[in-house]
């Protein structure tokens, strides 16, 4: 049966990078028999413009019935003043939460050809391959109560709640251990247990779950130290597992180790392995519509979709090899181009990847 893939282009450069990735998936279908059909729906600012809601019910329904979802990016200055409850970012958070995509995988892998694109020294990042696992449907992003209220004396007070239930910690830890087991067998749990009770519980549950995985080495690190260590000696890490907000911050940091945030894919999985796949970068309104955006993070997100949700590991390998070959051939979009490189646009990069896929 054909895999049903929902494409949510979103805003800014979203339509360009999702369009590019649709072409790549189309090439896999035509050349290698990858059985897929595409559906398209609105989400983000474009959905606010069309329906007054960043995640319209029709989009949510299609997301529920799809086998996998590929998202470009949402948001932009045009919608920054929109009421908080319907902002593009809220739509994305609702999609993650309503579909139970609690396990967010953010690999930071340095392609050898890009070692000089990082702002860190080549030997610090060469060969880098770490996996950040971010809890995505709990923590301070969703905790209640939240809001901005006016106190009796007229001053305003903003507040959010950081909370984790034991079962939420346990399931993300299990995902972390399962993934570490298939990689370097080292799991570093990042928290702030020297200050926060919720982190104390986090650490305790990590230890308990760890007893089921004696073959995986578990360590703990405070988040402030982890951010320092990630810049100092990033290769000391294999898999990092952490909370929603710490993971948000650390994954942007890790992205820069690899040279460009334009290179990094992500997967957000539910308990059954169904997922939402999106580049780590945002909608880049400053370059939208100019045909210069780097489509590789979205193309690599499609590769994660093939690997983690659609059970098409061979196609994922093929696609990743094609991207590596294109980079080795010196083809660069502006964000990863060196001083001497001539940058290509989105369309040429996409064609290069499709050509590099090879023949059946």
Would you please indicate which residues are annotated as catalytic (active-site) residues? Answer: 141, 192, 224, 248, 252
Q: Report in angstroms how near the CB of residue 251 gets to ligand IPM at its nearest.
A: 6
Q: Report in angstroms how near the CB of residue 93 gets to ligand IPM at its nearest.
A: 6
Q: b/e for 52-90, b at 16 or more Cβ within 10 A? A: ebbbbeebbebbeebbbbbbbbbbbeebeebeeebbbeb
Residue closer to ligand IPM, measured from CB, 31 or 78: 78
Residue closer to ligand IPM, measured from CB, 92 or 125: 92
Q: Give the separation between CA 240 and CA 219, rounded to whole angstroms.
A: 9
Residue closer to ligand IPM, measured from CB, 140 or 321: 140
Q: Could you give phi then psi for residue 325, rounded to 5 degrees? A: -65, -40
Q: Which residues bind ligand IPM (CB under 6 A)?
A: 89, 92-93, 248
Q: Indicate which of Mg ion, ligand IPM, none lies near residue 53 (CB less than 5 to 8 Å, by partner kind).
A: none
Q: Give the separation between CA 107 and CA 304, rounded to whole angstroms.
A: 10
Q: Indicate which of Mg ion, ligand IPM, none lies near residue 323 (CB less than 5 to 8 Å, by partner kind).
A: none
Strand pairing class (275-279; 265-269): antiparallel
The strand pairing partners of 130, in sequence order, are 108
Residue closer to Mg ion, measured from CB, 248 or 312: 248
DSSP string, 309-330: TS--HHHHHHHHHHHHHHHHTT
Q: Report in angstroms how near the CB of residue 89 gets to ligand IPM at its nearest.
A: 4
Task: Write the Ramachandran bin of 185: left for phi over 0, alpha for psi from -120 to 50, otherwise beta.
Answer: left
Q: Give the separation between CA 89 and CA 173, rounded to whole angstroms.
A: 26
Q: Report in angstroms how near the CB of residue 210 gets to ligand IPM at its nearest.
A: 27
Q: Indicate which of Mg ion, ligand IPM, none lies near residue 92 (CB less than 5 to 8 Å, by partner kind).
A: ligand IPM
Residue closer to ligand IPM, measured from CB, 301 or 346: 301
Q: Report in angstroms how near the CB of residue 115 gets to ligand IPM at its nearest.
A: 25
Alpha-carbon dihedral 33, 39, 44, 49, rounded to 10 degrees: 140
User: Tokens in use for 341?
Assistant: 């490189």
- Comparing every residue's Cβ against Mg ion, the nearest one is 248
Residue closer to Mg ion, measured from CB, 22 or 248: 248
- Comparing every residue's Cβ against ligand IPM, the nearest one is 89
Q: Indicate which of Mg ion, ligand IPM, none lies near residue 89 (CB less than 5 to 8 Å, by partner kind).
A: ligand IPM
Q: Indicate which of Mg ion, ligand IPM, none lies near residue 230 (CB less than 5 to 8 Å, by partner kind).
A: none
Do the beta carbons of residue 280 and residue 250 sit within 8 Å?
Answer: no
Residues near 320 by beta carbon (within 8 Å), at least 6 away in sequence: 300, 303
Do the beta carbons of residue 283 and residue 14 sit within 8 Å?
Answer: yes
Q: Report in angstroms how near the CB of residue 125 gets to Mg ion at its nearest.
A: 21
Q: Which residues bind Mg ion (CB under 5 A)?
A: 248
**How many C-beta atoms lie closer than 10 Å to residue 170's C-beta?**
15
């Amino acid at each position: 049966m054909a895999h049903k893939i929902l494409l949510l282009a979103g805003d800014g450069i979203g339509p360009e990078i999702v369009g590019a990735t649709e072409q790549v998936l189309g090439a896999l279908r035509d050349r290698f028999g990858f059985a897929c059909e595409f559906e398209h729906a609105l989400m983000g600012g474009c959905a606010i413009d069309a329906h007054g809601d960043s995640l319209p019910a029709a989009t949510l329904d299609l997301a529920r019935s799809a086998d996998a979802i590929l998202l470009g990016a949402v948001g932009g200055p045009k919608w920054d003043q929109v009421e908080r409850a319907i902002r593009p970012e809220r739509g994305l958070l609702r999609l993650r939460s309503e579909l139970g995509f609690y396990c967010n995988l953010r690999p930071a892998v340095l392609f050898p050809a890009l070692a000089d694109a990082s702002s860190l020294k080549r030997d610090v990042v060469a060969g880098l391959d770490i996996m950040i696992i971010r809890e995505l449907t709990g923590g301070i992003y969703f905790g209640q109560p939240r809001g901005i209220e006016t106190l009796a004396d007229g001053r305003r007070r903003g507040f959010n709640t950081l909370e984790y239930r034991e079962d939420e910690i346990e399931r993300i830890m299990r995902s972390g251990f399962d993934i570490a087991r298939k990689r370097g067998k080292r799991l570093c749990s990042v928290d702030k247990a020297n200050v926060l009770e919720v982190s104390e519980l986090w650490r305790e549950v990590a230890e308990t779950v760890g007893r089921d995985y004696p073959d995986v080495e578990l360590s703990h690190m405070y988040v402030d130290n982890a951010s320092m260590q990630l810049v100092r000696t990033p290769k000391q890490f294999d898999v990092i597992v952490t909370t929603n907000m710490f993971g948000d911050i650390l994954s942007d940091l890790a992205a820069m180790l690899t040279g460009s945030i334009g290179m990094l894919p992500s997967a957000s999985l539910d308990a059954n392995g169904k997922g939402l796949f999106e580049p780590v970068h945002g909608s880049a309104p400053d370059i939208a519509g100019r045909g210069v955006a780097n489509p590789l993070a979205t193309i690599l997100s499609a590769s994660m979709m093939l690997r983690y949700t659609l059970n098409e590991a061979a196609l994922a390998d093929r696609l990743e090899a094609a991207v590596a070959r294109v980079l080795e051939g010196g083809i660069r979009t502006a964000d990863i181009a060196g001083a001497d490189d001539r940058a290509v646009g989105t369309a040429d990069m996409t064609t290069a990847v499709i050509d590099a896929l090879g023949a059946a």
